[in-house]
Amino acid sequence: MLAFIARRLFQSVIVMLAVAFIAFMVFRYVGDPVSSMLGQDSTLADHAALRERLGLNEPFYIQFFSFVGNALQGQFGISYRLQQPVSQLIMERLPATIELAFASASIALVLGVVLGIYTALRPRAFSTGVIMTASLIGVSLPTFLIGIGLIYVFAVELKVLPSFGRGEVVDLGWWRTGFLTESGLRSIILPAITLSLFQLTLIMRLVRAEMLEVLRTDYIRFAKARGLSQRAINFGHALKNTMVPVITITGLQLGSVIAFAIITETVFQWPGVGSLFVNSVAVVDVPVMAAYLVFVALVFVVINLIVDILYFIVDPRLRDGAKSGR
Amino acid sequence: MTEPVLSIKDLVVEFPFRNDVFRAVNGVSFDIMPGEVVGVVGESGAGKSMTGSAVIGLIEPPGHIASGEIRLKGERIDNLPEEAKAKLRGRRIGMVFQDPLTSLNPLYTIGEQLIETIRTHLPLSEAEARQKAIDLLTEAGIPKAAERMESYPHQFSGGMRQRVVIALAIAAEPELIIADEPTSALDVSVQAQIIKVLKKLCANHGAAVMLITHDMGVIAQTADRMVVMHQGTVVETGTVGDIIRRPQEPYTIKLINSIPTIQRQAGDVTPEEAANDDGAYVQVKHLVRDFEIGGGGFLKLLPGKVEMFRAVNDVSFAIEKGKTFGLVGESGSGKSTCAKMIVGLLRPSSGQITVDGHDIWAGGAGHKERRKRVQMIFQDPYASLNPRWRVADIVAEPMRTLGIARNRTEVDHRVAELLTRVRLDPSVMRKFPHEFSGGQRQRIAIARALSSQPEFIVCDEPTSALDVSVQAQVLDLMQELQDEFGLTYLLISHNLAVVRQMSSAVGVLHNGVLVEKGPTDAIFDNPQADYTKMLLDAVPDISRVA
C-alpha cells in the first residue's frame, strides 16, 4: 500500500513538472513580457534594465528552475493587468470557486447516484423513461444555455433568485464564505445547478449502466438464490460493486468541475478563478494564465491520487495486487 | 410411500420473442425423494439449467413458467408471489452455481457473506452465526476456517471457493440443493473432492440434491437416479446403473456412446513403442520458462529483488511424425505455457524446440519455417475467431500472410476445399462466426489451422468448451485429418479420456515438471508417478458404475 502510494506520488511529481514546463514555455514565448509591461514610450535602456531585473537574460534552464522554485513557494509573479501578485489573486478567488464546485458536486453526486440506482432497479417503469429522456437533454444542452435559461426563468421572470455575483460574504480571515448569509446561499443556487447538470446526468447514466451490469452477474444471482433480502442485494452487494468504476469517472468529473467552471462563472459573473482566467486571457496576462495551468494540473493530480487510494479501500483485490506488484 | 421433496409435473418454461415463443422446457416431470441425489444430464440447450432456475424461481425475464406445477414437500411453489418465493430461497432450497470464481461477491469477505446469509434465515446472534459459519467452513473442508473468515474470495483457489459456495448454499439447512454444474469449471482432482464434499454435506444435513451437469461421469459417481434431458423434454428417467448400462432411448444411447472413457476401447489409437528420440519430428529439450512475480515497478531496478516463478521446469519430450502426443495436467501445471512456447508466442527462458530439425526460436529461417509448419487450435471457439470477419477471410488469412496463395480465385478455391475437408459446406464462407454453433466454429478454427498446410498442430484443449457429442465429432475429424495428411499433433487437455482416445504417447505435467511420460497404455494402465495415479483415480468415469 505504502509503496503504491509512493509510486503514485512520484508519478504525480513528474506530471506536475511537465505541466510546469509547459506553463513556463507559455510564459516565455507568448508575447514579450517586457514590452507589455513597459508600454510603448519606454527606452531601450529601460527594457534592458527590466530584462536584467526579471532574470530574462539568464540561460533557459536556470529560468526554468527559478520558475519551479518560485512556484513551489506559491510565487507566480505579478499580474500584468492588475499589478498584484498572482498567488494573492488566486487565493482571493479560490474560495468562491471551491464553494461553487462543492455545492454542484454535492448535487451531482447525491442526485446522480440516487437516480442512477432508481432507474437501474426499475428498468421498465414509466418514470425511468422520463428520467432517462430528461437526462439526454441534460447531457446535450450546453452549459451557457442552461445558465441563461435559469437566469431568465428564476431571476428575470419569477424574480426569486439573484442572477449574478456571490451575494454577501463573511470573512473568516483566511476564507471568505457565502454559505453563512442568506443572500450568499440564494446566490449559489442557480450557478450550482447549472454547473452540476451535466455531471449529474453523466453520473446517473454511468451508475445505471454499471448497476445493470452488476445485477446480471453470477454473484448477484447467487445472492438471490441464498434468499438475501432485496435491500441487502441491491444496496449492499450490488451498489458497492457498482461504485468501483464509478469512482474513477466521478473523480475526474469533479476535477473538471473545479478546474473548468469557467463558463458558469462567466455567465453568472461569479468572482472565482475561472472568471479571473477568462479576463486574463483577453489581455494576455501571462503570469495568471501560467499559474492557472499549474493550478488545474494540481487539482487533477490530487484528485487522481485520492481516487487511487479510494480504489484501495473499496476493492480488496487491488490490495493484494499491489503486494505482488501488479 | 414417503412424499417427494420436489415434484415437478408437466413444467413448461417459455421465452416469448417478437414473433415466436421459444419453449426452453417443454413438459418436464420428475420427483426427488428426501435425501436422494438426482442427476439431470443433457447437452447445452437441453433445458436442464432452466428447470433448476424454475424450481428456485430465478428465471430471467422475459422467460416465465407457462404451465405445469412444482411442489416442494407437497406444497405448490411455482405460483407463489415473489416475496414468498424469496423466503424459500436459501431457507428451503439452496443453489450452487457452476463458476466458483464469479459466484462470490469479490468485495466482501467470505465471513461477511456467510454470516449475512445465516442471519437472514436463522434467528441467531452475530456471534452464534459466526460460530456456525466457522463450523460450516470446517465441515466443507476449509482448513483453519476461523482465520479464513476474514479472507476475500480472490484469496482462495477455485476448488476452495466452490467449498465456500457449498457452505453458503447449505447454511440455512435447506431441504433441497440444486447444484448447477458444480464441478465443470474445476480440475479433475479438485472435482472429485468437491463432489465428495457436496455429497457429504447434503447427507449430513439431510438435503436432497438435484445435480445438473453435462458430465455423465460426475453423475455416475454421485447420483442415485438420473433424468436425461434433450431439447427441453425428458428423454429417459431411471437409476444411474440402469441408464448407463441399458439405455433405452436412441438419444441416450448416442449420448453415452459419445463419451470418451479412460478405459481402453477398440478403435483407439494403437500405441507403438516410442522410437529413439533423436529422429523424432518435434523435439522439445530442457524447456524452461520463468515469470517474474512481485517487486514490480521501482523494485525491479534493485538487484535481487525480483522473485521468479518457474512455470515450466526442464520439460523434454519428442513427437514422432504423424503421431499425437498428449500433454495432461491441471490448471497451473504449465501445459498452456508449453504450448505457447512451442508455437512461438512466448520465448523460452532456456531450452530448445526443434520442428523437423529447425530450431524455431533461432530466428531467420527457423522463424519462417515455424510460421508455416506449426499451427494452433485454441480452446474457446467463441473467442478465437474474429467476430467481425467473414469465415472466408478468417480461413484465408494464414495463406495471405504467408504468401501461399495470392489471387482471389485461388484463395477462394482453397478456402472452399478446406471447408469441405472439415465437413462444412463451402457456401458458409460468406457468413460470420456468430452464425455457427460451438462445434462448427471449432471446425472453422481447424480449417484456419490447416490453411497454411502445416505439418504440426498444437491443440490447446480443443474440445473442452464443447458438448460431449460435438466433442466426439471434432475428435473424429481431427483423427481423420491426421490419417489423411499425416499431421503431427500435440494435444493438450485436462480431460484424460480424450487424451487416451487420441494419443499414442502421453506426458503428465505437474507444477511445471514432466512427472511421467511414455506410451499411452503404459501410463494409463500402469502409472508410476504418484501424481498420475492420483489423477487417474480422480476421473469420474461411467465405466465404473457398479
B217-244: pLDDT as tens digits:
888 888 889 999 988 889 889 888 888 8
Portion of chain A with pLDDT greater than 90, in percent: 3
* Predicted confidence (pLDDT) per residue in B167-219, tens digit: 888 888 888 999 988 887 777 778 888 888 888 888 888 889 999 988 888 88
- Asked if the Cβ–Cβ distance from A237 to B105 is below 8 Å, we say yes
- Quote the CA–CA distance of A47 and A60 in Å, as a whole number: 19
Q: Which residues contact A303 (CB under 8 A, 6 or more apart)?
A: A251, A252, A254, A255
Domain ranges of chain B: 6-257, 280-517
Q: What would the mean pLDDT of B499-506 be, rounded to a whole number? A: 88
Cβ distance of B89 and A241 shorter than 8 Å: no
Beta bridge partners of B225: B38, B239
Q: Which residue on chain B is closest to A225 by alpha carbon?
A: B89
pLDDT at B303: 52
Look at B293 and A218 and tell me if their CB atoms are within 8 Å. no
Over residues B148-153, the mean pLDDT reads: 88
- Bridge-based pairing of strands B282-293 and B307-319 is antiparallel
DSSP state string for A207-242: HHHHHHHHHTSHHHHHHHHTT--HHIIIIIIIHHHH
**Contact at CB, A241 and B104, closer than 8 angstroms:** no
On chain A, the residues whose CB falls within 8 A of the CB of B154 are: 316-317, 320
For B120, the closest of A229, A237, A244 (CB atoms) is: A229
**Do B89 and A324 make contact, defined as CB atoms within 8 angstroms?**
no
pLDDT in tens, B153-170: 888 888 888 889 988 888
| A294 C-beta neighbours (distance < 10 Å), count | 21
**According to the model, what pLDDT value does residue A233 have?**
87
pLDDT tens sequence across B113-138: 999 999 988 888 989 999 999 998 98
CATH superfamily of B280-517: P-loop containing nucleotide triphosphate hydrolases (3.40.50.300)
Taking CB atoms and an 8 Å limit, are B116 and A3 in contact across chains? Answer: no
- Rounded distance, CA B491 to CA A82, Å? 78
Q: Which residues contact B476 (CB under 8 A, 6 or more apart)?
A: none
> CB pairs below 8 Å between A and B: how many?
99
Phi and psi at B351, nearest 5°, equal 105, 175
Work out the widest C-alpha separation in chain A, in whole angstroms. Answer: 87
d(CA B446, CA B459): 9
Burial category of B22 from C-beta neighbours within 10 Å (exposed 0-12, middle 13-18, buried 19 and up): exposed
Tally of CB atoms within 10 A around A170:
12
- Please confirm whether the linkage preceding A95 is cis (ω < 30° from 0): no
- Sequence-ordered list of residues with C-beta below 8 angstroms from that of A163, at least 6 positions apart, any chain: A151, A155, A156, A190, A268
| CATH architecture entry for B6-257 | 3-Layer(aba) Sandwich (3.40)
Q: What is the pLDDT of residue A33?
A: 65
Please tell me what DSSP assigns to residue B200. Answer: H
Query: Closest-CA residue in chain A for B99?
Result: A218
Q: Contacts for A72-80 with beta carbons within 8 Å, 24 or more apart?
A: A76/A287, A76/A288, A76/A290, A76/A291, A76/A294, A77/A287, A78/A287, A79/A280, A79/A285, A79/A287, A79/A288, A80/A33, A80/A36, A80/A37, A80/A283, A80/A284, A80/A285, A80/A286, A80/A287
Q: Please, which pLDDT band fits residue A39 given cuts at 50, 70 and 90?
A: low
| Greater model confidence, A78 or B475 | B475
Query: Which chain A residues are closer than 8 Å to B88 by Cβ?
Result: 227
pLDDT, position B365? 66
CA distance B376 to A55: 67
Q: Tell me if A3 and B172 make a contact (CB, 8 A cut-off).
A: no
What is the nearest CA distance from A237 to chain B, expressed in angstroms? 7
Q: Which residue numbers of A have CB closer than 8 Å to B's CBs?
A: 3, 7, 217-219, 221-230, 232, 236-237, 240-241, 244, 314-317, 320, 323-326
Query: Which residues in B have their CB inside 8 Å of a CB on A?
Result: 56, 58, 86-91, 94-95, 97, 99, 102-109, 116-117, 120-121, 152, 154-155, 165, 168-169, 171-172, 293-299
ipTM score of the complex? Answer: 0.72
Closest alpha carbon within chain B to A218: B103
pLDDT in tens, B255-313: 888 877 777 655 555 555 444 556 678 888 888 888 876 544 444 455 555 567 888 88
Distance of CA B460 to the CA centre of its chain: 13
* Structure confidence at residue B366 (pLDDT): 62
Band of pLDDT at residue A37, cut at 50, 70 and 90: low
Q: What is the pLDDT of residues B61-75, one digit of tens each?
A: 788 888 888 998 888
* Interval B308-331: pLDDT, tens: 788 888 888 888 888 899 998 887
The minimum CA-CA distance between B23 and chain A, rounded to whole Å, is 22
Strands (E), B186-281: 208-213, 225-230, 233-239
Full-model pTM: 0.75
pLDDT in tens, B369-385: 777 788 888 888 888 88
How remote is the C-alpha of B276 from its chain's centroid?
35
Q: Which of A38-52, B167-181, B184-198, B517-531 has the lowest mean pLDDT?
A: A38-52
CB contact under 8 A, A226 and B90: yes
**pLDDT for position B219:** 86
3-class SS of residue B285: strand
User: Which regions of B37-84 does DSSP assign to beta strands (E)?
Assistant: 37-41, 64-72, 75-76
Confidence of residue B80 (pLDDT cuts 50, 70, 90): confident
Q: What are phi and psi of B378, to 5 degrees?
A: -95, 170
Q: Measured between CA atoms, how close is B379 to chain A, in angstroms?
A: 23
Chain A residues with beta carbon closer than 8 angstroms to that of B120: 226-229, 232
- Structural domains in chain A, CATH included, are 2-72 (no CATH), 87-323 (1.10.3720.10)
Residues from chain A that touch B106, judged by Cβ atoms under 8 A, are: 219, 241, 315-317
Q: pLDDT tens digits, residue range B17-75?
A: 777 888 888 888 999 988 889 999 888 778 888 898 888 888 887 888 888 889 988 88
What is the reported pLDDT for B277? 55
Name the residue among B474, B543, B542 with its Cα closest to residue B218. Answer: B542
Instruction: Please work out, in degrees rounded to the nearest 5, the angle formed at the alpha carbon of residue B334 by the alpha carbons of B529 and B383.
Output: 130
A316: nearest CB among B107, B172, B297:
B107
Residue B188 Cα, gap to closest chain A Cα (Å): 23
Q: How far apart are CA B470 and CA B248, in angstroms?
A: 21
Chain B residues with CB under 8 Å of A240 CB are 105, 107-108
CA B381 and chain centroid, separation: 13
Instruction: Count other Cβ atoms within 10 Å, centred on residue B388.
Output: 9
CA distance A220 to chain B (A): 8
Identical fold for domains B6-257 and B280-517, yes or no, is: yes
Is the model's pLDDT at B100 over the cut of 70? yes
Cα–Cα distances in angstroms (integers) from residue B339 to residues B29, B343, B354, in the given order = 46, 6, 13
Residues of B with Cβ-Cβ distance to A221 under 8 angstroms: 58, 97, 103
